[in-house]
Amino acid sequence: MPDVVVIGAGAVGAACAYYAARAGLDTLVVDRGSVAAGTTGAGEGNVLVSDKAPGPELALALLSRDLWLGLAAEGGDGGFEYEPKGGLVVARTSRELTALTALATAQAGQGAEHVVVPPDALGDHEPHLADGMAGGVLYPQDAQVQPALAAAGLIRRGAERFGGGTLMLRTGVTVTGLLRAGSRVTGVATDHGDILAGAVVNAAGTWSGEIAAMAGTGLPILPRRGFVLVTEPIPEPLIRHKVYTAAYVTDVASDSENLETSAVVEATPSGPVLVGASRERVGFDRTTSIPVLERLARQAVELFPVLAGRRAIRAYCGFRPYSPDHLPVIGEDPAASGLHHACGHEGAGIGLAPATGHLLAQTLAGVTPDLDLSPFRPGRFEEARR
């Protein structure tokens, strides 16, 4: 019987499993699909502090960034294309630049590093950026990973490093219910039989609300669809950082169900350029929206005119696990002991995965977490309804 069953083999579930195994807990990861088959596989691999508002999520992001650095240092780029390339947020107007600078100053109070870039110096950082920008803010701590490699690498590394059988993976296994002994969750029921465990971690991403409902808990995690355009491989390094406009920061914090798009452009080690970002709440509708893709392409060219002659070779979509207050859910369920949640990260799950796994593993091992988890507590939504 494992000490911990982790539901979900995306980046967050993989990190929970890795750190639980590192803490000496026998851990089993189950997923109805393959590793990184859900939101993780449709992500860009952002490891950002730049888009986090001052407060608990920024603290989580800074801890996670340090953990990603450590993981990458263990083996070159960590085996998951870790790129500490930094992020450049650009403003089109002086008003946007004032707002960006004020945000960066507030973030700096928690340890986020930044450099305000005047308009005449933008070309030093991004030579192909469009003219006429009012300036920007450079965040040297921003980075990127290849998300599917990161999830697979954490599971593989945990299985290899922490003893034979300490971390195991079973794919193609669908959780159909939670096992109970009174009010305590003691394992999972699956389409391949019951699995008893000392604790269960709900890291099912966009589907985490369904897992929580099996314990009678309401977690308002909803899918927020996003598209990404991928260009043909570009041999010359046209784009040096992750570059996005001030509108992206606003969109991340938005509660709107309607379509929102803002230019986010970054290169990859293999050559293609990734273009985002769109957000809309349309359930789990995977229908390709040509108007959305056209808008993303237009916004990317407005930011980098050099992309106008490049072909888009494919597009894909994913569903961010949206939480109404834009904070992830991390911790034990107050109404179902033994059930721990690690979900609701929206578009930041890959970046926040190591900190989430590290803190949850500390909780599972009976150690006081390095950060106060009360802002992320699962019961806060029910508390707000009272």
Estimate to the nearest angstrom the gap between the alpha carbon of 236 and the chain centroid. 28
Q: What is the pLDDT of residue 76?
A: 65
Is the pLDDT at 252 greater than 80? The verdict is no
Tell which residue, 349, 263, 342, has the closest CA to residue 307.
Answer: 263
- What single-letter amino acid sits at 324? P
Q: Binning pLDDT at 50, 70 and 90, where does residue 77 land?
A: low
Contact 49, 107 (CB under 8 A): yes
CA distance linking residue 340 with residue 147, whole number of Å: 23
Section 296-325 average pLDDT? 94
Tell which residue, 204, 197, 155, has the closest CA to residue 329.
Answer: 204
Query: Minimum mean pLDDT among 28-32, 65-69, 96-100, 261-265: which range?
Result: 261-265
Is the pLDDT at 319 greater than 90? The verdict is yes
**Backbone CA torsion sign across 228, 234, 238, 241:** positive
For helices 11-22 and 147-161, what crossing angle results, to 10°? 20
Is the pLDDT at 293 greater than 80? The verdict is yes
Query: For residues 366 and 252, which has the higher predicted lDDT (pLDDT)?
Result: 366
Tell which residue, 382, 315, 323, has the closest CA to residue 56.
Answer: 323
Mean of the per-residue pLDDT values of the chain:
94
Q: What is the pLDDT of residue 386?
A: 66
Phi, psi of 73 (to 5 degrees): -65, -20
Neighbouring C-alpha atoms within 13 Å toward the C-beta of 175: 30
**Backbone CA torsion sign across 188, 318, 49, 100:** negative
Pairing outcome for strands 27-31 and 4-7: parallel
Q: What is the pLDDT of residue 175?
A: 98
Q: What is the pLDDT of residue 129?
A: 97
pLDDT tens readout for residues 148-188:
999 999 999 999 998 777 999 999 999 999 999 999 999 99
Q: What is the pLDDT of residue 251?
A: 65
CA distance linking residue 88 with residue 72, whole number of Å: 22
